[in-house]
Amino acid sequence: MRHPLDWQDPDFYDRNKLQAEERRVFDVCHGCRRCFNLCDAFPRLFDLIDESETGEVESVPSQAFQQVADACTLCDMCFMSKCPYVPPHELNIDFPHLMLRHRCVDEREQRHSMADHALSRTDRNGRLAAPLAPLVNWTTRTDNRLTRALLEKTVHIHKSAQLPKYHRRTFLHQAQDNPPALNTQAPAYGRRAVLYATCFVNYNNPAIGRAARAVLAKNGVDTSVVYPGCCGMPRLEQGELEAVAEAATTIARELCAWTENGYQIIALIPSCALMIKFEWPLIAKSDPAVQKLARSTMDISEYIMDIARNEGLADGLQPLPGGIMVHLACHARAQNMGAKAAEMLRLLPDSDVSVIERCSGHGGVWGVERDNFDVALKVGRPVARRVATEGKRWLASECPLAGVHIAQGIERLAAEDGRSAAIEPARHPIELLARAYGLEI
C-alpha cells in the first residue's frame, strides 16, 4: 500500500523535517542494502555512509543527501520488488516518494534550473516542434555536432543521447483520417474504448497509436482517440505536484465523461498508465473523478490480454521468426498487473519470447541529461548485454525511451569490442502484434 502525498501540508516542504525523515529511512536502507544493484541512488548512499567518519548515517552531512535524490529516477522498483519494509510494515519505507518529496522541497526553494523546467513542458514543446518537425529533428541528430553541443550547453542534454523525433501531424490529427475498419466478426465485437494518446505517442511516435487502434479494430473494438494533455509525469519528476494535481483534475473530468457511456480508458505508455492508476489518486485524493478514472484505466497490453481471456483474439496472427526479446518497463511492472506485454506476445504462433525484468537505466528526462547519460548507460548495461548475447531478431519495450536507450547501450558494447551493431529498432509490443496480424500502420 502507499499513503497519499501530503503535499498541501506546509511541513511537507520543511527541509529540516525532510532531512530528519531521510536520516530515518537511510538508516534502514543502510542496515538492509537489498537495493544496492537497482540504480545509482543506493550505491551513492552507501558510499556516503561507508566513507563517513563513523560509518553510520549520523555522520553524513545533510547536504550530501542531494546527490542521492539526484540519482533517483522514480522508477518505483525498490518499492515494488525489493524493499521488505514498505507499508503496512511499521517502518513505513517508501523511498521513491521520499525522493519525490526532496524534489518538491527543491522546487519550492527554486533550486531547479530553467533547463529542467523547459524539458518537462512536453505539451508546449510538442506544439512548438510539430510544425517545424524536419528542422527540429535535424537539430537533435547526434551527428549534428554543432547543434548538439549547443543543446548540451543550454539545456544540459548530453550530446550523445538519442532524442525522440517529432512529427508534423500528431496522432490525434492522424486519428481523424481514415479510421481502421471494424471487424464485426471478431469475438470481442461490441467493445468500446478510448485511447488516451499520451504526449509521447501524440507528438513523438504516432505509430504506437496507429498500431494499437488497428489491432483493436481487428478485434472488433470501436475506438476513439483523445488527448486533453500530458499526464504530468515529467513535472512530477521535478516536484511540481500542484501542476500534476491540476492536470489530473482536468484530464479526469474529460475522460470520465467517456466512461459513463461505456468506454474503457486505455493508456498507450506505461508511465502514463501508472500516473492515472496509482500516482494521481495519491496526489488528488479528494477528487472523485480522479479516483473513478484510476479504476477505469488499463494499459494497452493489459487490455489486449483482457480480450484474450474473456472473448478470445481475432484469428489471423502469424509467427514473427527470429524470436522476441521483450523488456518490461519499470512503470509497467510498478502497475502490479503482471507481465502483460510478455503474455500478449506469447499468444503469437510458434512464439519464442524472452523477458528482461530489469531497469534500462533511462529514467525519462533524467537519462538524457548531461550529468546522467553515462550513468544511465552503466545502469542499463546488463540489459544491453543480455539483448546482444541472446541475439533475438526483435526487441520490444513497453517504454519507447527505454527501447532506444537499450539500443544505444548495445552500440556502446559493440564499439568497445571493435565491431558494429546491427539490430532492428526497438518497438512497442503492440507494434509487433500489429505486424503479426499483417496490419498496415
> Using H for helix, E for strand and C for coil, what is the string for 229-268?
CCCCHHHHCCCCHHHHHHHHHHHHHHHHHHHCCCCEEEEC
- β-sheet bridge partners, residue 325: 354, 395
Please determine, for residue 37, whether its predicted confidence score (pLDDT) is greater than 90.
no
What's the average model confidence in pLDDT over 3-16?
Answer: 97
Reported as a single tens digit per residue, the pLDDT across 342-389 is 999 999 999 999 999 988 988 888 889 999 999 999 999 999 999 998
Break the chain into its structural domains and give their ranges.
10-108, 114-155, 172-310, 324-436
What's the pTM? 0.94
Give, in degrees to the nearest 5, the angle at Cα 16 between 13 and 20: 110
Reported as a single tens digit per residue, the pLDDT across 102-153 is 999 999 999 888 888 888 999 999 999 999 999 999 999 999 999 999 999 9
The per-residue pLDDT for 406 is: 93
Q: Match 546491427 to its residue by C-alpha cell.
A: 422
Reported as a single tens digit per residue, the pLDDT across 238-292 is 999 999 999 999 999 999 999 999 999 999 999 999 999 999 999 999 999 999 9
Nearest to 300 by CA among 171, 209, 202: 209
Answer yes or no: are the C-beta atoms of 296 and 325 closer than 8 Å. no
**For 44-53, which contacts have Cβ atoms below 8 Å and span 24 or more sequence positions?**
44/68, 44/71
In CATH terms, the fold of domain 324-436 is: Rossmann fold (3.40.50)
C-alpha cell at 303: 487490455
Please determine, for residue 424, whether its predicted confidence score (pLDDT) is greater than 90.
no
Q: How far is CA 393 from the centre of its chain?
A: 24
Determine what percent of the chain is predicted with pLDDT higher than 90: 88
The per-residue pLDDT for 423 is: 67
Determine what percent of the chain is predicted with pLDDT higher than 70: 99
Please determine, for residue 418, whether its predicted confidence score (pLDDT) is greater than 80.
no
Q: How confident is the model at residue 421 (pLDDT cuts 50, 70, 90)?
A: low
What's the average model confidence in pLDDT over 85-95?
Answer: 97
The per-residue pLDDT for 365 is: 87
Residue 380 three-state SS: helix
What's the average model confidence in pLDDT over 196-215?
Answer: 97
Please determine, for residue 422, whether its predicted confidence score (pLDDT) is greater than 70.
no
pLDDT, averaged across the chain: 94
Please determine, for residue 420, whether its predicted confidence score (pLDDT) is greater than 80.
no
Cβ-in-10-Å burial (0-12, 13-18, 19+) of 315 comes to exposed
Please determine, for residue 318, whether its predicted confidence score (pLDDT) is greater than 70.
yes
